[in-house]
Amino acid sequence: MTGPVRVRFAPSPTGYPHVGNIRTAMFNWLMARHTGGKLVLRIEDTDVARKVEGAVEAIMDGLKWLGLDWDEGPDVGGDYGPYYQSQRLELYRQATERLVAQGDAYYCYCSPERLEEMRAEQVRLKQPPGYDRHCRDLSPQERAEQQAKGITPVVRFKVPLEGQTTYNDVIWGDITFEHGTIDDFVLLKSDGYPTYHLANVVDDHAMKISHVIRAEEWISSVPRHLLLYRALGLAPPQFVHHPMILGPDRAKLSKRHGAVSILEYRAQGYLPETMLNFLSLIGWSLDDKTEIMSREELVDNFSLERIGRTGAIFNREKLDWMNGVYIRGLSTDDFAQRALPFLEKHLPTPVKRPLSADYVREIVPLIQERARTLVEVAGLAEFFFLDELEYDAGLLIGKNMDRQLAVRTLKTAENGLEQLASFDTESLEDLLRPMAVELGLKTGQLFGTLRVATTGRTAAPPLFQTMAVLGKERCQRRIAAALAMLERSPR
RNA sequence: GGCGCAUUCGUCUAGGGGUUUAGGACACCUCCCUCUCAAGGAGGAGAUCACCGGUUCGAAUCCGGUAUGCGCUACCA
């Protein structure tokens, strides 16, 4: 059992909130809540060029949607702010100066062009690419000469040429890297901003982070960070790397695999409780059978030890299934309320807005157990709202029936319905079941024809309930329309 | 190319030396329920535990190698 942790989610505001990143946030959040610790949100906006307007808001939006709250961050403040790295430049500058003064870092005047050529050459010679340490041992004069040219240098870390660094990953165990395979990476860019490596180390320490929980793709930067911690005389946090989310081709999940933003899933009608549950099961499991877990159960049972080591493909079909489970678990009111905006948005344009909340509440129980996403609700419920139904008249003629029989069936129903005093489910059943016998039809034949006439489709919610919601007048109108269609259609 | 890591049903996973004829879930198939669809219930099919060798009385489980895959290899994070 781990004591209260201080963990952080440190996204870079360069785009939409990717489900992979949100899952990382979720693991951090779970860990914070499980141990009674703190989650800090830190914005790693050190890449001026790639910064995207509105990205921070989108990320927060995604987090809030899933109910992943943070204890410290740009909007809520905290004792270790500011929480935008762009506002902490002085800290990085100081650390850099110290490293240079100690001889652990140096100014590098190499132009981007030179670096590019060098890399191309290395690739051509099939050598491991990496900085060739051209500026590592410049004399004071040489430095002065470069400086005189007006070149703004970057600062690089002086990686030891020999030795190795081993660390113990909570999930992967001991991992060892030879220093010889690590090049002199950049600490401070020429624009005065730090690189991810420097900023990460400085901030994780300054913010007293106890566990760094992030995706597997960062494993190879751990030795660099460890070297930095050591040079700065700081104690490193625990490192926890979780496996990544993969696309169907087993490559890192990306845009070309389809929806990757958590906000897209919201727009597609997935419930936040589904997403939280589903994401938690990618790379983590409670036991051999538990799958549906509430936020509380997740918090109570979460543990780093049960995070796996293999990347997992994002399985949309299973997501759909799980969302269906959650949708069916909602109260009618809750479901109606959640479905309403999706109906407003996705119902065909001829349908008048705003929708009647009362009518929607009547409809919704009939589709709740048939919908797997909130978007699907619109398609499933469409016929409840349309004035004109469009379908192939042939569908009115059921199995072992002919046109004439279909006409007779509809006319009989028309008359029967006319006589009906109260148009509720029970009355409809009492009228229609005997009617099938009377017509010499199987119930399926009668109901099928009526279903097509009243809904325009062969698959719909149960007939009597559907008709009751539709109402007498609308049903009659539709049956009359069906009759007209049959008459009109070519024999 | 270098470094690091991984490999159990199509997919997500449980299992970490004998309790396993390898368990569960999604998807798939059959049947039941039934006015259609959905939901639900009962079954079924699906994994030589990547491969090869070793350790052991015994290996999916431990060790080594091979293969394959993935990640990293920027003045991006």
A167 — alpha (psi -120 to 50), left (phi > 0) or beta? beta
- The CATH topology of domain A6-85+245-313 is Rossmann fold (3.40.50)
Tell if A218 CB is < 7 Å from nucleic strand B. yes
CA distance A197 to A154: 14
HSE-CB of A138 using CA atoms within 13 angstroms: 22
User: With contact defined as beta carbons under 8 Å apart, do A240 and A171 qualify?
Assistant: yes
Structure tokens at A277: 């549950």
Residue A406: the pLDDT is 93
Residue A212 dihedral angles phi and psi, to the nearest 5°: -100, 105
Does nucleic acid strand B have an atom less than 7 angstroms from the CB of A128? yes
Q: Measure A111 CA to B57 C1' (Å).
A: 68
Residue bearing tokens 């901003």 = A193
Strand, helix or coil at A355? Answer: coil
Per the structure, the residue whose CA is closest to nucleotide B37 at C1' is A459
Where do the CATH 1.10.10.350 domains begin and end in chain A?
Answer: 393-488
Locate CATH 3.90.800.10 in chain A. 88-242
Query: In degrees rounded to 5, what are phi and psi of residue A343?
Result: -70, -45
| Interatomic CA–C1' length for residue A201 and nucleotide B36, angstroms | 62
CA of A333 to C1' of B39 (A): 19
The helix (run of H) or strand (run of E) holding residue A165 is: strand A164-169
Phi-psi region of A308 (alpha: psi -120 to 50; beta: other; left: phi over 0): beta
User: Interface pTM (ipTM) of the complex?
Assistant: 0.94
Helix intervals (H) in A2-54 = 19-35
Q: 3.90.980.10, 3.40.710.10, 1.10.10.10, 1.10.10.350: which CATH number matches A393-488?
A: 1.10.10.350
* Per-residue pLDDT at A491: 59
pLDDT per residue of chain A (491 residues) written in tens, 0 to 9: 579 999 999 999 998 999 999 999 999 999 999 999 999 999 999 999 999 999 999 999 999 999 999 999 999 999 998 999 999 999 999 999 999 999 999 999 999 999 999 988 888 888 888 899 999 999 999 999 998 998 999 999 999 999 999 999 999 988 989 998 999 999 999 999 999 999 999 999 999 999 999 999 999 999 999 999 999 999 999 999 999 999 988 988 988 888 899 999 999 999 999 999 999 999 999 998 899 999 999 999 999 999 999 999 999 999 999 999 999 999 999 999 999 999 999 999 999 999 999 999 999 999 999 999 999 999 999 999 999 899 999 999 988 888 999 999 999 999 999 998 899 999 999 999 999 999 999 999 999 999 999 999 999 999 999 999 999 999 999 999 999 998 887 65
Q: Which residues pair with A155 in a beta bridge?
A: A107, A188
Q: What is the dihedral of CA A292, A297, A303, A307, to 10 degrees?
A: 10
| Calpha distance A369→A362 (Å, rounded) | 14
* Residue with CA nearest C1' of nucleotide B69: A250
The helix, strand and coil proportions of chain A, stated in percent and rounded to the nearest 5, come to 50, 10, 35
- Structural contact between residues A37 and A31, judged by C-beta atoms closer than 8 angstroms: yes
Cβ A458 to strand B below 7 Å? yes
The CA distance from A246 to A156, in Å, is 34
Tell me if residue A256 falls in helix, strand or coil.
helix
DSSP code of residue A77 = B
Q: Is the CB of A193 under 7 A from strand B?
A: yes
Q: What is the helix (H) or strand (E) element at residue A212, kind and residue range?
A: strand A211-215
A175: its two tokens = 């991992």
Separation of alpha carbons A65 and A130, rounded Å? 42
Strand B reaches within 7 A of the A276 CB: no
Buried b / exposed e along A257-274 (16+ C-beta atoms within 10 A): bebbbbbebbeebbbbbb
* A442 belongs to the catalytic site: no
Please tell me the number of Cα atoms within 13 Å of A410 on its side-chain side: 32
Predicted local distance difference test score (pLDDT) of residue A55: 95
- The Cα A294–Cα A103 span in angstroms is 53
Side chain identity at residue A328, one-letter code? R
Instruction: Output the pLDDT for position A1.
Output: 57
Q: Is A150 left (phi over 0), alpha (psi -120 to 50) or beta?
A: left
Fold category of A88-242 in CATH: Glutamyl-tRNA Synthetase; domain 3 (3.90.800)
Contact A164, A176 (CB under 8 A): yes
From A51, A149, A189, A255, the catalytic residue: A255
CATH 3.40.50.620 domain position(s) in chain A:
6-85+245-313
| Phi, psi of A363, deg, nearest 5 | -75, -45
Residue lying closest to nucleotide B75, CA to C1': A189
- Indicate the SS3 state at residue A208: coil
Bases of chain B within 7 A of a CB of the protein: 1-8, 10-15, 23-27, 35-40, 69-77
Q: Is the CB of A126 under 7 A from strand B?
A: yes
Instruction: Give the pLDDT of residue A490.
Output: 65
d(CA A64, CA A421) in angstroms, rounded, equals: 51
Q: Tell me if A177 sits within 8 A of A212, measured CB to CB.
A: no
CATH T-level topology, domain A330-385:
Helicase, Ruva Protein; domain 3 (1.10.8)
Query: Nucleotide B23: nearest residue by CA–C1'?
Result: A288
> How long is the CA A173 to C1' B62 vector, in angstroms?
16
Is any atom of nucleic acid chain B found less than 7 Å from the CB of residue A102? no
What lies within 8 Å, CB to CB, of A216 at 6+ separation is A241, A242, A243, A244, A311
Q: Which nucleotide is nearest to A446 (CA to C1')?
A: B35
CATH 1.10.8 domain residues, chain A: 330-385
